[in-house]
């Protein structure tokens, strides 16, 4: 604490707990891209994954550890030697590695899940921290399901973990069960009943099952927690985690109340939210606080009147504070490179000259098809470029004949390293016909789980953004496509999802057995 104002560390777990959102699966390259955005946002800790979970996650944590500088890079590990060793290896190249080890402390988890006694859990927690400390100097210990644990046992476990060398003790509300008043009291209890608490930082990790993850985290801050764990857009297991943008903007907007600051560059919030939404395929609800489309929109006359006179009448923060520009210059096909570059800078992007040149070419192509190019269009172009695209297949051409009296018929041409594939198919509407033609071209059955289409901005000439989810080996992969032609956007999204699926799972076994065709 300094002048009564505490500094709250932001521990971002978008890449670990956020990836536990059903249907989300990020490749190593996608995790790296999000981690780089998080570093720009100036989070204090990036939990990059759970290295023992899969070779893909091990690779992702290693990549982030090697390439992302600035924040502490953490890897999760159960309280056992194998997990901790794997985490240590994955973090080997990190500037500032942290092993985050955990074990449950609630009786319900001990009895039904771990089948361990309290004494065993206590000993295993201490042993795990001791072992992790042999590998890295910074170890975080979490007592899973802390909020439903016996408070005195919890304090014993934390005391042992700190004695064993934990630098951070984390108090998760794993199942989103607690309430702000109760959680604040628990933090106070831990502060007064763990004798060596001064040797460790207090962290909290709240879930949103009852919609109180952010409120509970803030109650913890008011009671002495100095690290909060959270995710972009509130992603996470079940109903998700505390949303970083909400926590940070609550602390920023109500600074006089919380008497706390973070090191976050809030102007990076909006673009990070968009990037995470694009790469995870999880759409942000329009009414979502801070980053939803409606967060700064005013529908009713009385509100509009007030905002026109002074935005403070109905806005408690400025959209510019999170990186949304209110009066953006609208760019069009007559706009030049200077205006385009200036707009990118205002939007918080710092791109290399070559990247700007490439983007400018795409911007001009879009401006030819669309009267006005808005910030959201530019973001969409940027996020499409950013999405990792292992290009097994590339859509070169598509054509559809469709109508209310005609059976929709589509033909597609795909390029692969082995040459050109062309196929045609009928279907139940133009999108179905196109997907069927693509499926015939690649030569294996694709398990389509979901499909979504939305306009990026308003107007008949708006860019259409298609998202497609496909499944293979029990895993879900999302693909995204962008075009003013919604069938083309859909076809691109389908091909992108197939490419991502192949990058992780390889070709389906029956396809390989049949000799393939790509």
Ligand X SMILES: CC(C)C(=O)C(=O)O
Taking CB positions, which residue lies at the least distance from ligand X? Answer: 172
Backbone region of residue 350 per phi and psi (left: phi > 0; alpha: psi in -120 to 50; beta: other values): beta
**Least distance from ligand X to the Cβ atom of residue 172, Å:** 3
Quick check: 17 binds ligand X (CB under 6 A)? yes
DSSP E strands: which ranges in 126-248? 139-144, 168-173, 201-206, 227-230
478 binds, among ligand X, ligand ACO, none (CB under 5 to 8 A by kind): none
The phi, psi pair for 362, rounded to 5°, reads -65, -35
Q: x/- site string to ligand ACO, residues 50 to 69, per CB under 6 A? A: x-xx----------------
142 binds, among ligand X, ligand ACO, none (CB under 5 to 8 A by kind): ligand X
User: Number of residues in contact with ligand X, rule: CB under 6 A?
Assistant: 9
**Least distance from ligand ACO to the Cβ atom of residue 255, Å:** 31
Measured CA distances, 249 to 73, 121, 195, 289, 292 (Å): 23, 37, 33, 10, 14
CB count in 10 Å sphere of residue 407: 12
Quick check: 11 binds ligand X (CB under 6 A)? no
Among 98, 131, 148, 205, binds ligand X (CB under 6 A): 205
Long-range interactions of 396-403: CB distance < 8 A, separation 24+: 396/420, 398/434, 398/437, 398/487, 398/488, 398/491, 400/430, 400/433, 400/434, 400/487, 402/429, 402/430, 402/433
**Least distance from ligand X to the Cβ atom of residue 146, Å:** 8
Quick check: 349 binds ligand X (CB under 6 A)? no
Q: Which range in 28-36, 45-53, 341-349, 444-452 contacts ligand ACO by CB under 6 A?
A: 45-53
The phi, psi pair for 88, rounded to 5°, reads -60, -45
Quick check: 277 binds ligand X (CB under 6 A)? no
**Least distance from ligand ACO to the Cβ atom of residue 154, Å:** 15
- Cβ-contact 410, 485 below 8 angstroms: no
Among 6, 59, 67, 80, binds ligand ACO (CB under 6 A): 80
Among 21, 36, 142, 496, binds ligand X (CB under 6 A): 142
Among 79, 206, 225, 275, binds ligand ACO (CB under 6 A): 79
Enumerate the H helices of 47-117 as residue ranges: 55-67, 81-90, 107-109
Cβ-Cβ contacts under 8 Å for 518 (sequence gap 6 or more): 392, 393, 416, 417, 418, 421, 442, 443, 507
Torsion of CA 331, 332, 336, 337, to 10 degrees: 60
Quick check: 237 binds ligand ACO (CB under 6 A)? yes
Quick check: 83 binds ligand X (CB under 6 A)? no
Quick check: 78 binds ligand ACO (CB under 6 A)? yes
Quick check: 174 binds ligand X (CB under 6 A)? yes
Give the H/E segment covering residue 448.
strand 447-455
Binding site for ligand X (CB under 6 A): 17, 102, 142, 144, 170, 172, 174, 205, 207
| Known binding positions for Mn(2+) | 17, 205, 207, 241
Binding site for ligand ACO (CB under 6 A): 17, 20, 50, 52-53, 78-80, 102-103, 113-114, 144, 174, 237
């Amino acid at each position: 604490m300094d002048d009564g104002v505490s500094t709250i560390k932001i521990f971002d777990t978008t890449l670990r707990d956020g990836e536990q959102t059903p249907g989300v699966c990020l490749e190593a390259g996608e995790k790296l891209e999000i981690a780089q955005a998080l570093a720009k946002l100036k989070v204090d800790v990036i939990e990059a994954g759970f290295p023992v979970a899969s070779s893909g996650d091990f690779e992702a944590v290693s990549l982030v550890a090697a390439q992302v500088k600035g924040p502490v890079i953490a890897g999760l590990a159960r309280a056992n030697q194998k997990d901790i060793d794997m985490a240590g290896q994955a973090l080997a190249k990190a500037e500032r590695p942290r092993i985050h080890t955990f074990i449950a402390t609630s009786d319900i988890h001990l009895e039904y899940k771990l089948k361990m006694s309290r004494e065993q859990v206590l000993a295993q927690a201490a042993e795990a921290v001791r072992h992790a400390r042999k590998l890295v100097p910074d170890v975080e210990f979490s007592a899973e399901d802390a909020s439903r644990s016996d408070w005195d046992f919890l304090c014993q476990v934390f005391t042992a973990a700190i004695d064993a060398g934990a630098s951070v003790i984390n108090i998760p509300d794993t199942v989103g069960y607690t309430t702000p008043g109760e959680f604040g009291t628990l933090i106070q209890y831990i502060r007064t009943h763990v004798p060596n608490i001064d040797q460790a930082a207090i962290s909290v990790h709240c879930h949103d099952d009852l919609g109180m993850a952010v409120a509970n985290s803030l109650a913890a801050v008011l009671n002495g927690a100095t690290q909060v764990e959270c995710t972009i857009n509130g992603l996470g297991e079940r109903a998700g985690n505390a949303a970083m943008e909400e926590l940070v903007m609550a602390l920023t907007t109500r600074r006089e109340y919380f008497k706390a600051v973070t090191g976050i560059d809030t102007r990076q919030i909006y673009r990070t939210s968009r990037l995470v939404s694009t790469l995870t395929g999880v759409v942000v609800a329009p009414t979502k606080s801070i980053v939803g489309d409606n967060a700064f929109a005013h529908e009713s006359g009385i509100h509009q009147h007030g905002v026109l006179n002074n935005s403070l009448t109905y806005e408690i923060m400025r959209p510019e504070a999170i990186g949304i520009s209110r009066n953006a210059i609208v760019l069009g096909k007559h706009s030049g490179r200077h205006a385009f570059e200036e707009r990118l800078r205002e939007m918080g992007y710092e791109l290399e000259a070559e990247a700007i040149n490439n983007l400018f070419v795409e911007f001009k192509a879009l401006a030819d098809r669309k009267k006005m190019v808005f910030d959201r269009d530019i973001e969409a172009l940027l996020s499409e470029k950013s999405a990792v695209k292992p290009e097994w297949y590339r859509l070169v051409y598509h054509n559809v004949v469709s109508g209310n009296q005609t059976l929709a018929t589509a033909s597609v041409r795909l390029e692969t390293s082995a040459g050109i594939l062309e196929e045609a198919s009928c279907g139940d509407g133009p999108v179905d016909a196109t997907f069927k033609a693509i499926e015939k071209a690649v030569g294996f059955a694709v398990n389509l789980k979901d499909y979504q289409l939305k306009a990026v901005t308003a107007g008949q000439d708006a860019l259409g953004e298609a998202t497609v989810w496909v499944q293979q080996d029990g895993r879900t992969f999302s693909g995204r496509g962008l075009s003013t032609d919604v069938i083309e956007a859909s076809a691109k999204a389908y091909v992108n999802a197939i490419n991502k699926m192949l990058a992780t799972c390889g070709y389906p076994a029956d396809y390989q057995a049949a000799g393939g065709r790509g």
